[in-house]
Structure 1
Amino acid sequence: MYLHRSLEIGDLETICLFPQSQEELFYMSPRFVYPLTPDQIMNLAKDRFEPTVILEDAKNEVVAYANIYADELEENSFWLGNVIVSPESRGKGASQYLLNVMSEKAKNTLKTEKLKLACHSTNSRGLAFYSKSGFKPFDMKIHDIGSKKFITIHMIKNLV
């Protein structure tokens, strides 16, 4: 039902349509400014590994995107980043396929035994999904953004 491949320049405009609000874009990356633009994706992706898109097999169209980045504090440790699924593909298995692909890339290509991710506390759907997929909380950070405070929950999954 789904296929995957590396990100291509032609995918960027489609990915920019996935976040439906500033809040959804914040979940994808607090560094992004709404509305998302191809330049924002490319500027962040240049320091990332395995930028990957998921394609719906029947239509051959991009339905999800993610990448991986290195942990600055721990050697051979990596984080899943910029996870986003098209609104039309949510709840249809694309996110699980994306998570499986990215976990395999972290394990087999980057040779790491665990994968981390950050999920914001207001993203209850994401937290439930990651928990169901085997990720466990290990830390949290409080961020001040403007006059608001946000809690980010750090989660980890063993890949071995």
Structure 2
Amino acid sequence: MSHRNLATHDLETISSFPQSVEELFYIGPRFVYPLTPEQIVNMLVNRASPTVVVNADNDQPIAYANLYDIDAEQSTCYLGNVILASAYRGKGVAEYLLNVMMTRAREEHRISRLKLYCHNTNTRALIFYTNHGFIPCGSKIIDNHEGRKIASIEMERAL
């Protein structure tokens, strides 16, 4: 497993990762199912460090994430659009991607605290981020993909 910057030829593969409307909502509430390369490109307008984890054998994307709302004064930014190919879940890819993104935030953007939003209905992700040192620091109420109110929990950790 290795990582590199997002390339245009990765977009089609990454677009195939979300397996449901709910899963895509967790990745990005503004995305519309099915995910398309155009939606990813449009999201990148306000994003930084788009990163792809690739299978070392064939350079095929297996995970993706980016950073946004970089605030040099507060030394914070947010982790966004985290997505893994379903065949690679539970195999250490998410931890590898998270470590890469923390390093990029710290080294490329001089950030000392990484933040993210995780929806209260995404138990697996909440447990993952908690196990990796993130703690709740706020929340906001949003409408989910079905129009129901849920809590989007803001979490952060020191880098």
- Fold similarity call, TM over 0.5: yes
SS in structure 1 of the partner of residue 109 of structure 2 = coil
Q: CA offsets, 1:83-116, max 9 Å, x none?
A: 0000000000110000000000000100010000
Moved over 4 A (4+): none
| Matched AA of 2:97 | L
Root mean square deviation, CA, Å: 1.4
Q: Are 2:109 and 1:127 equivalent residues in the alignment?
A: no
Q: Are 2:113 and 1:114 equivalent residues in the alignment?
A: yes
Aligned length: 157
Q: TM-score, normalised by structure 2?
A: 0.94
Contact 1:55 1:62 (C-alpha < 8 Å) held by counterparts: yes
User: What does residue 87 of structure 1 align with?
Assistant: 86
Q: Distance in 2 between matches of 1:26 and 1:147?
A: 11
Q: Distance in 2 between matches of 1:60 and 1:86?
A: 14
Q: Distance in 1 between matches of 2:147 and 2:65?
A: 29
- Identity value in percent: 48
| Matched AA of 1:142 | I
Unaligned runs of 5+ in 2: none
Unaligned runs of 5+ in 1: none
User: What does residue 152 of structure 1 align with?
Assistant: 152
Contact 1:71 1:78 (C-alpha < 8 Å) held by counterparts: yes
Indicate the larger mover: 107-116 or 51-60: 51-60
User: What does residue 51 of structure 2 align with?
Assistant: 52
